[in-house]
Structure 1
Amino acid sequence: MLMALPIRIKLFSRHWPHDPEVRIIQKTKAMTKSIISDMDGVIYRGKALIPGANDFVQRLLKSNVPFLFLTNNAEQTPLDLKLKLEHLGIKGLTEDNFITSAMATAMFLKNQKENATVYVVGGGGLINELYNVGFSISESNPDYVVVGKTTSLSYEQLKKAVRLIDGGAKFIGTNPDMIDPVEGGNEPAAGTILAAIAAATGKTPYIVGKPNALMMTLATRKLGVHPDDAVMIGDRMDTDIVGGMEAGMTTVLVLSGVSTKESIKAFPYKPDHIFNNVGEIDPAVL
């Protein structure tokens, strides 16, 4: 009942700002706004924890704010990410606190075709998620070529992917990120591999991860909230912020990853809030 009242009042009452009941409802709604946060460039850079990240996560846990870490990283499983954060000093998380672009890609493809065959250019996390939904990995006339970031990319993999796509396999990308922030700088990401294959085949991949609203929809469904009641925190204007904005979320940019104050000016949209890092964020006031 309470969740519906602000909408009706905001639309139909001219006096709602002066109604004490409405102010109470609005405050309650704001305090319970769910958090969806990116990881790379927000919580860590490569193997280094970003200052304030642990304090931010502990605030989420202690306040019982519903939250998810939503990452375009398709190399690692939720268990891998949980263990990585524990190694970096962040305790108290479970595998249910994570959604990766590999998970989203697997769920998307399962809805398209049951028991499909796929050829994968990507890491173990992507292969694991595809196995989890019943797909077989094959180099012989697969239904899909699925491409994500991998640090073990070879020329033979690129050649095989190109020939399979030329032969009719559908071209799927986990995410469009061209670079990933790591300690000491940046490194090539999934988008660079996709660009090479796209150039060779003349085909454009369908990309499942951010900024595709599909990722945002999966996250809000998992939390059981409407996008209006969720905040997207990220370090990239071209994926996190535009994806959150188009999904109808409040958007927060942190300057600890890819985007900078100067680079923001190049985009025709802007985030709702900007912070140096997540340590400065109080979830209760977003």
Structure 2
Amino acid sequence: MVELANTMDWPLVKGIVSDLDGVVYRGRTAILDAVEAFRNWQAEGIPFCFVTNNSTHTAKDVVTKLNGFGLETTQDNVVTSAATAAQLIRQSYPAGTRIYVVGAPSLRKAILDAELVITDKQPAIVIMGLDREITHEKLRIAVDAVLKGAVLIGTNPDLLLPTPTGFEPGAGAILTAVATAARVKPIIVGKPEVYMIEAALSRLGTDRATTLMIGDQIPTDIQAGKRAGLCSVLVTTGVPPVEDPSLQAPDFIISSLKQIPLKR
């Protein structure tokens, strides 16, 4: 994929919405250029908000991690797919709705915080995020519930996640197994849908024309940015870019966030 980063073509940057995994860090390892870029934007007074499809961490967990890399942030700087999923469910379902959860403790916490009930007995909804302790039994319960009428919701469709040593299957890989077996199309909360992008924009208070969407995945990050009307930037520090003519191409392709010019 050809790198596209002509300084003369960049828009006036007054706000940034960004992915995390593969952009700011890979697993537990910081991407140093990215951390430096965000610190520079912070020094220039350019606001940013992170939107992560990863449902295995709370906003508090993310802040602790970023602060450990030397990037001072607060929970207002982070929108997670787990919290967004719980909020969206509560917009359509009352407190006490029965939910079967396949995912990390952070997803379970978000569901409980929204006053929903976690159970494998006749759930109205099956919600699935990244679960590194997935078993055939969890998949069986999820498929059975969906076949009996439960709504299938995925925190995100990411098939692949970057790690310090390579890659691992993402939440989308697990979700696809259940959706395929039950022959249903799941409702997706995270990118490429715009729910988290809209939440980030409301926090930033910036104009879409002057806000960048930065990510490392074309099917999710870039499509979400495009759908939200933002200038999209693909950085090649994460998952290998997907060449798919059916997807909207990024406005810029870069190898380091430091290639984005500081302009106000």
Q: Does TM, normalized by the shorter one, top 0.5?
A: yes
Q: Secondary structure at the match of 2:71?
A: coil
Contact 1:35–1:283 under 8 Å retained in 2:
no
- After superposition, the Cα gap between the structure-2 partners of 1:268 and 1:123, relative to the gap in structure 1 and judged at 3 Å, is closer
Cα deviation, 1:130-175, whole Å, max 9, x if unaligned, reads 1222111111111210000011111111111111111211100000
1:259 to partner: Cα distance:
3.5
1:98 maps onto 2:78 in alignment: yes
> What is the DSSP-based 3-state SS (H/G/I as helix, E as strand, rest coil) of the residue aligned with 1:146?
strand
Select which of 242, 249, 253 maps to 1:274: 253
User: Residues 1-286 of structure 1 correspond to what in structure 2 (within 5 A)?
Assistant: 30-31=12-13, 33-87=14-68, 89-115=69-95, 116-260=97-241, 263-264=242-243, 266=245, 268-284=247-263
Alignment size in residue pairs = 253
Larger radius of gyration: 1
CA distance in structure 1 between the partners assigned to 2:209 and 2:117 by the alignment: 38
Q: Is the 8 A contact 1:51 1:277 kept in 2?
A: no
Q: Is the 8 A contact 2:153 2:187 kept in 1?
A: yes
Aligned partners of 2:152 and 2:187 also within 8 Å: yes
Shift, 1:224, TM fit = 2.4
**Does the aligned pair in 2 maintain the 1:51–1:279 contact within 8 Å?**
no
| Greater RCO (CA < 8 Å, at least 6 residues apart) | 2
CA contact (8 A) 2:223 2:247 kept: no
The Cα shift of 1:71 comes to 0.7
**Which residue identity is paired with 1:95?**
Q
**Bigger mean CA offset, 211-220 vs 71-80:** 211-220
Aligned mates of 2:227, 2:134 — CA distance in 1:
33
Cα offsets for 1:60-103 (capped at 9, x unmatched): 2211211101110111001111112233x223111111001112
Q: Percent identity between the aligned chains?
A: 36
Change (3 A) 1:153 1:268: closer
Which whole-Å CA distance do the structure 1 matches of 2:231 and 2:194 have between them?
14
Secondary structure of 1:221's counterpart equals helix
Is the contact between residue 219 and residue 247 of structure 2 (CA under 8 Å) also seen in structure 1?
A: no
What CA distance in whole angstroms lies between the structure 1 residues aligned with 2:22 and 2:163? 8
- 2: distance between equivalents of 1:208 and 1:283? 32
Name the structure where helix makes up a greater proportion of residues. 1
Q: Deviations over 1:220-276 (max 9, x none)?
A: 12222343332100001111111101111011110101134xx44655532112210
> Normalising by structure 2, what TM-score?
0.90
Segments of 5+ residues of structure 1 without an aligned counterpart are 1-28
Kindly provide the amino acid, as one letter, of the partner of residue 30 in structure 1: L
Question: Separation in 2 of the partners of 1:71 and 1:127?
Answer: 17
Query: Match for 1:51: what amino acid?
Result: L
State the SS of the aligned residue for 1:42.
coil
For 2:83, the aligned partner's letter is M
Distance in 1, matches of 2:173 and 2:42, equals: 36
Q: Which one is further off, 188-197 or 268-277? A: 268-277
RMSD (Å), alpha carbons: 1.7
Instruction: Name the amino acid aligned to 2:76.
Output: D
Q: Larger deviation: 173-182 or 46-55? A: 46-55
Deviations 1:3-58 (A, max 9, x none): xxxxxxxxxxxxxxxxxxxxxxxxxx935x21000001100111111130221121
CA distance in 2, matches of 1:52, 1:267: 31
Shift in Å at residue 123 of structure 1?
0.5
Unaligned runs of at least 5 residues, structure 2? 1-10
